[in-house]
Amino acid sequence: MTNELATPVSRRTILKGAALGGVATFIAACTGSKANPAASAAATPAASAPASADASAEPTAAASQVATGPLMFANWPAYIDLAGAAGDSGEYAPGSSPTLEEFKKQYGVDVNYQEKIGDNPSFVETIKPALVAGLNTGWDLIVITDWMASKIVTSGWVEKIDHANVPNCTANLADSLKNLPWDPGNDSHYPWQSGMTGVGYNAKTLTENKIAEPTKIADIYALPADKLSFLSEARDTFGLGLLKLGIDANPETITLDDLQKVADDIQPLVDKGLRFTGNEYLQDFAQKKVWAAFVWSGDLASSGGEDDRFIVPEEGALIWTDNMLIPKGAVNKYTAELMMNYVYDPRIAAQIANYVYYVSPVKGAAEEIKKLDPEAAANPLLFPTPEIVAKQHNFQALSDEQESKLNDLYSTLSGT
Amino acid sequence: MTAAAASGPPTGPTFRRRLNKAVPWLLLAPGLLWLLVFYVLPVIQMFTYSISTGSIEAGFTLTLSPDAYIVALSKFGKQFLNSLLYGGAATIFAFLIGFPVAYSIAFRGGRYKNLILFLVIAPFFTSFLIRTISWKILLGDEGPLLGPLKHTLGILPGDFSLLGTPIAQVAGLTYNFLPFMILPLYVALEKIDPRLIEAAADLYAGRWSAFRRVTFPLALPGVFAGSLLTFIPAMGDYINAELLGNPQTRMIGNVIQNRLLVQNDYPVGSALSFILMAAILAAVAIYARALGTEQLTG
Amino acid sequence: MATTTADGDDLALRRPSQPVWQKIDRYLLPAFTVLAIGYLLIPIVVMIVFSFNKPVGKFNYAWNEFSIDGWLHPFDWPGLGSAVLTSLGVAIVSTIIATVLGTMIGLALTRYSFRGRGLLNGLIFLPMATPEIVMGASLLTLFVATALPPIAGSVPLLYPTGLHTIIIAHIMFNISFVVVTVKARVSGFDRRLEEAAMDLGADELTTFWKVTFPLILPGITAAALLAFSLSIDDFVITNFVSGTTNTFPIWVYSIQRNALPVQINVVGSMVFLGAVGLVLVSSLRSGGIPKLR
């Protein structure tokens, strides 16, 4: 049962309930100059060719900026469209990404795309000493999850984005992702993809064991604990834990006691065999080691077995976003901005979303993706309906105190 | 050092003596220098973190306080014990499996010695993750091993599970450190002159007696090296616990990982590391003494 | 006169050889070894088998259907090819250098006595005992510090981090392993062989290369193999000091967060089969390795 309707509706909730459903088709595919932000509907693929010419036109407004390269772009793996199919067609080399190849061709600059980010702390820890010392980290563009991104931005470790260079972003960013407390004007970041954390289970295994399919988070707490797994991302586990207890997973309203309650709720499960995993749950599902788990939507959407199901529980689900940032000292800042602008072209955004199977932050992508894959367009995990959006909570940006408590509680639970 | 020798290259007993004295240092210098700059220096800095307060972002102030050590020792006793237990178990199993293998290769390998030895280490050129995933496939609840045992033969209960247990963790540790045990053992065994064993047989020693009193003592440097090359890294391992264990079986490596990466708590993280290193050094010293100091000094 | 063995057993009763131990020696031991090597190779077999899989979705966890797609497109992933090449290159270079440095240290520690030898013997174990994350994080801080005043980049190749810093780090942690392995071979080395050579007129350098070196070569080779496998599979330290360069273990660790492509199995299989093939060919061509006695 959802609680958020009973609580005072925050500004964030209102924004969340807005256009993330992907219905804003009246935004242009590619905007021309700043003076013309809204164009007519139904951006066609044909329009994108001259439109990209438009997109390349806007940077010249800002004097003598030249796209330098190679663009050092660090991202999570499998987070951009890959050319397996395109490679077969001979158009692009195997292993290359159509998006990146088209970018390279259009701007005449090379892109050094490294899938080096495995998890936020491991990656950020490798660039932190350089950032603290004020040195160039070597990267021009990185993609970091909300909670870590907010810390980096607050610490002043990013370059400010020149809005003149990113008209697509300004125009096409989904409304629910605007005006975030840690970067209200989008001076420092633009979202790459969003994802949901919810409950996943293997329908066949549950049927075999005569267990009803869960609809609430509380349902899976009742399963044998050694057939369950929660996430090693503490925020995700505790966020869902809060929702299960009927507490709104909103960092601005929770107390440290609330976190303690979640830990106390989970501890008995840990004692009986609960484990915390990353996305090994997919393998565990396949091997029937785990019957249900806290999962990330993209995984099950794109690669679960046919019996793996993802649900947005009744109590609610979590939403998180991975964001593009330009670290301080980046050598090719302008090129990075061009890339940000480029991926906010709905056609490109659709191209990426069609492979990655996460939630695109770009308005108009839903329309574009219908041309590539109508099934994808109808998939609520990619384009959540307003009902789902209403149940999404963002439990990412915690205060230092909350984070410290969270980490302590989690490390006690996980035995480290 | 007579003036008469000044015209040619330096010779003479004193020079030779000086050269001989210098040789060990000349041999040591490059490697030692490398370790000094790229290991000792950074680790000393880590040590200063353990007696400071602060963080990478905010900077550290050297307060010389032992707080970090107190926290480290009081809070994580269980994980230290786990490391000792599982690391020790893995070493023993690796020895029990590895010694016969090294013995076979050394004494029975013939012309294919190098090939078989290579087969022992080649699996470890592939990624650790792939090996672990392969094991997880094999040891899965309904996998090729447990499936038949549980259902066809009915030996094990239906809800028996290997993954997420200490058994899986120790098995993973043993497997991943087996070459570290086999290679030094092989190296020491291969050196043994078989004529010594023949001589023992000529003196009417039985096979086991010959082994116990000739072969094994001669192989001790290898046993020493192999056990240390296995035990020491196994104590600090974290990945086997992470992928194959559960919250109760975490080792000290997992704690250090968590402190440094997630909690950004460098003082306690470094304190834990230094306690671990001190414990290992102590264990090595005791072990060396037990085996006889010749093993330590060669 | 009754003769007894050293154990005090009556000689006459002991003379027939002991069949139990003979059986163990002849049958059990080889069987055990074959099983043990099989055990070592099982995951590799699984890996090779699954490289012929066509997974459902992005994760290669469960067998779906046979396909050689992975082998036809082995590097069909951005950055995979260069990551593999980088790993191989780093492994080869760091192995060579670490083996040389470590062998020299091993020789010095076992054959010469000098002040501080005992201490050094103990300290050599320290790098092995240090958690990798500690070595990695502190090494990175060191490299960053070289870019700041007072050094301010006057020592080249240390910042920005990249290929060279990976090699530096790998050499660092490999040295200890090489030393320990080489010592297992060099200790107890019979100096009289060297003395005999010198009596026959060889100078010290010739003695080393013609007598000592061949005899300790198995130890050096084993150490090199160990160092190579440590380097090619290192993740934690490499992650810290690699900057914008990617290596195969980092790539594998990162990718498994979102996908587990068949390519991992294919590349792993290629490395394994390639390495074994090389050794097989060389050992067949030379008619087997001559026994070094």
- Structure confidence at residue A48 as a pLDDT band (50, 70, 90): very low
Cβ–Cβ under 8 Å, residues A274 and A226? yes
Alpha carbons C235 and C132: distance in angstroms, whole number: 9
Contacts of B78 by beta carbon, 8 Å cutoff, 6+ apart: A415
User: Looking at chain A, which residue has its C-alpha nearest residue B253?
Assistant: A416
CA distance A125 to chain B (A): 7
For B12-41, the pLDDT digits (tens) are 677 767 777 788 888 899 999 999 999 999
Contacts of A294 by beta carbon, 8 Å cutoff, 6+ apart: A197, A198, A199, A200, A229, A230, A231, A236, A237, A240
Q: What's the pLDDT score for residue B214?
A: 86
Alpha carbons C74 and C90: distance in angstroms, whole number: 21
Strand partners, A294: A199
Look at A129 and B56 and tell me if their CB atoms are within 8 Å: yes
Least confident of A147-161, C78-92, C148-162: C148-162
Q: What's the pLDDT score for residue B287?
A: 87
Tell me whether strands A317-325 and A392-393 are parallel, antiparallel or unpaired: parallel
Cβ–Cβ under 8 Å, residues A329 and A157? no
**What six digits make up the tokens of A260?**
């303690």
DSSP structural state of residue A16: H
Q: What's the pLDDT score for residue A35?
A: 33
- Structure confidence at residue C289 as a pLDDT band (50, 70, 90): very low
User: Looking at chain C, which residue has its C-alpha nearest residue B29?
Assistant: C105
CA distance C98 to chain A (A): 25
Look at C109 and B297 and tell me if their CB atoms are within 8 Å: yes
For A239-298, the pLDDT digits (tens) are 999 999 999 988 889 999 999 999 999 999 999 989 998 878 888 887 788 899 999 888
- Structure confidence at residue A34 as a pLDDT band (50, 70, 90): very low
State which amino acid sits at residue A37: P
For an interface test with C, the pick among B36, B47, B114, B238 (most C C-beta atoms closer than 10 Å) comes out as B114
Name the residue facing B247 among A121, A234, A413 (closest C-beta): A413
Residue numbers in A near C255 (CB within 8 A): 77-78, 115, 118
Alpha carbons A82 and A151: distance in angstroms, whole number: 31
Alpha carbons B291 and B294: distance in angstroms, whole number: 8
CA distance A91 to chain B (A): 32
Q: What's the pLDDT score for residue A378?
A: 81
Question: How would you classify residue B154: left for phi > 0, otherwise alpha for psi between -120 and 50, otherwise beta?
Answer: left
Look at C244 and A126 and tell me if their CB atoms are within 8 Å: no
Report the percent of chain B where pLDDT is more than 90.
36
User: Looking at chain B, which residue has its C-alpha nearest residue C282?
Assistant: B115
- Structure confidence at residue C291 as a pLDDT band (50, 70, 90): very low
For A291-309, the pLDDT digits (tens) are 999 998 887 777 667 788 8
Nearest CA-CA partner of B120 in C161, C279, A119: C279
For C217-240, the pLDDT digits (tens) are 888 999 999 999 999 999 999 999
Helix (H, G, I), strand (E, B) or coil at A396: coil
For A309-355, the pLDDT digits (tens) are 888 999 999 999 999 999 999 999 999 999 999 999 999 999 898 88
The whole-number average pLDDT for the span B65-69 is 88
For an interface test with C, the pick among B76, B104, B130 (most C C-beta atoms closer than 10 Å) comes out as B130
Interface membership of A283 toward B (CB under 8 Å): yes
User: Looking at chain C, which residue has its C-alpha nearest residue B182?
Assistant: C222
CA distance A209 to chain B (A): 12
Q: What's the pLDDT score for residue A91?
A: 65
Q: What's the pLDDT score for residue A12?
A: 42
- Structure confidence at residue A39 as a pLDDT band (50, 70, 90): very low
Q: What's the pLDDT score for residue B262?
A: 87
For B127-180, the pLDDT digits (tens) are 888 888 888 888 877 777 787 787 788 777 777 778 888 998 999 999 999 999
Nearest CA-CA partner of B166 in B238, B241, B230, B92: B241
- Give the torsion sign (CA, A233, A152, B255, B128): positive
Q: What's the pLDDT score for residue A15?
A: 38
CA distance B132 to chain A (A): 12
Alpha carbons C213 and C186: distance in angstroms, whole number: 10
Contacts of A383 by beta carbon, 8 Å cutoff, 6+ apart: A21, A22, A359, A360, A366, A377
- Give pairs for A235-238: CB < 8 Å, separation 24+: A235/A147, A235/A318, A235/A320, A235/A395, A235/A396, A235/A398, A235/A406, A236/A197, A236/A294, A236/A296, A236/A318, A236/A320, A236/A395, A237/A266, A237/A276, A237/A294, A237/A410, A238/A262, A238/A263, A238/A395, A238/A406, A238/A409, A238/A410
Look at C250 and A113 and tell me if their CB atoms are within 8 Å: no
Residue numbers in A near C145 (CB within 8 A): 133
Residue numbers in C near B183 (CB within 8 A): 181, 222-223, 225-226
Least confident of A211-225, C25-39, C251-265: C251-265
**What six digits make up the tokens of C198?**
């010198």
Q: How many CB pairs under 8 A join B and C?
A: 310
Alpha carbons A403 and C12: distance in angstroms, whole number: 80
Interface membership of A129 toward B (CB under 8 Å): yes
The crossing angle, in degrees rounded to 10, of helices C248-255 and C80-111 is 130
Cβ–Cβ under 8 Å, residues B254 and B237? no
Portion 66-85 of A in contact with C at CB < 8 A: 72, 74, 76-80, 82-84
Look up the pTM and report it: 0.84
DSSP string, B119-183: HHHGGGGS-HHHHHHHHHHHTSTTSTTHHIIIIIS--S-TT---TTSHHHHHHHHHHHHHHHHHH
Name the residue facing A407 among B133, B143, B262 (closest C-beta): B262
Question: What is the residue-averaged pLDDT of chain B?
Answer: 85
Whether A45 has a pLDDT exceeding 70, the answer reads no
Portion 254-283 of C in contact with A at CB < 8 A: 254-259
State which amino acid sits at residue A77: P
Helix (H, G, I), strand (E, B) or coil at A191: strand
Residue numbers in A near C160 (CB within 8 A): 130, 135-136, 138
Tell me whether strands A141-145 and A317-325 are parallel, antiparallel or unpaired: antiparallel
Q: What's the pLDDT score for residue A294?
A: 94
Cα dist. B290→B283, B296, C182 in Å? Answer: 11, 11, 21
Name the residue facing B258 among A125, A289, A416 (closest C-beta): A416
Least confident of A261-270, A405-414, C170-179, C246-255: C246-255
CA distance A318 to chain B (A): 21
Q: What distance, in Å, lies between the first and last C-alpha atoms of chain C?
A: 40
Residue numbers in B near C104 (CB within 8 A): 27-28, 30-31
Cβ–Cβ under 8 Å, residues C249 and C234? yes
Residue numbers in C near A144 (CB within 8 A): none
Q: What distance, in Å, lies between the first and last C-alpha atoms of chain A?
A: 33
For A366-400, the pLDDT digits (tens) are 888 888 888 888 888 888 888 888 899 989 889 88
Against chain B, the chains showing at least 3 CB pairs within 8 Å are A, C
The whole-number average pLDDT for the span B198-224 is 85
Q: What's the pLDDT score for residue B10?
A: 64
- Structure confidence at residue C287 as a pLDDT band (50, 70, 90): low
Q: What's the pLDDT score for residue A41?
A: 34
Residue A74 CB neighbours (<10 A): 24
Whether C172 has a pLDDT exceeding 60, the answer reads yes
Look at A414 and B79 and tell me if their CB atoms are within 8 Å: no
Cβ–Cβ under 8 Å, residues A138 and C102? no
Look at B115 and C280 and tell me if their CB atoms are within 8 Å: yes
Q: What's the pLDDT score for residue C10?
A: 52
- Give the torsion sign (CA, A259, A284, B253, A398): negative
Residue numbers in B near A129 (CB within 8 A): 56
- Structure confidence at residue A176 as a pLDDT band (50, 70, 90): confident
Residue numbers in B near C287 (CB within 8 A): 111
The crossing angle, in degrees rounded to 10, of helices C248-255 and C262-285 is 150
Burial of B217 (0-12, 13-18, 19+ CB in 10 A): middle
State which amino acid sits at residue C152: A
Look at B261 and A283 and tell me if their CB atoms are within 8 Å: no
Tell me whether strands A228-231 and A292-296 are parallel, antiparallel or unpaired: parallel
Alpha carbons B255 and B236: distance in angstroms, whole number: 10
Strand partners, A189: A325
Cα dist. C42→A142, B75, B91, B130, C46 in Å? Answer: 39, 39, 20, 12, 6
Contacts of A207 by beta carbon, 8 Å cutoff, 6+ apart: none
Nearest CA-CA partner of C135 in C232, C227, C234, C229: C234
Q: What's the pLDDT score for residue C283?
A: 73
Q: What's the pLDDT score for residue A216?
A: 92
State which amino acid sits at residue A96: S
Which phi and psi angles does A111 have, rounded to 5°?
A: -120, 120
Q: What's the pLDDT score for residue B202?
A: 85
Portion 155-214 of A in contact with B at CB < 8 A: 155
The whole-number average pLDDT for the span C190-209 is 84
Q: What's the pLDDT score for residue C30?
A: 86
For A52-95, the pLDDT digits (tens) are 433 333 444 445 688 887 999 999 888 888 765 444 555 666 66
- Structure confidence at residue C189 as a pLDDT band (50, 70, 90): confident
- Structure confidence at residue B7 as a pLDDT band (50, 70, 90): low
* ipTM of this complex: 0.84
User: Looking at chain A, which residue has its C-alpha nearest residue C244?
Assistant: A138
Contacts of C32 by beta carbon, 8 Å cutoff, 6+ apart: B100, B101, B104
Interface membership of A277 toward C (CB under 8 Å): no
Look at B277 and C126 and tell me if their CB atoms are within 8 Å: yes
Cα dist. A122→A117, A281, A410 in Å? Answer: 8, 21, 18
Question: What is the residue-averaged pLDDT of chain A?
Answer: 81
Residue numbers in C near B130 (CB within 8 A): 43, 47, 252, 264-265, 268
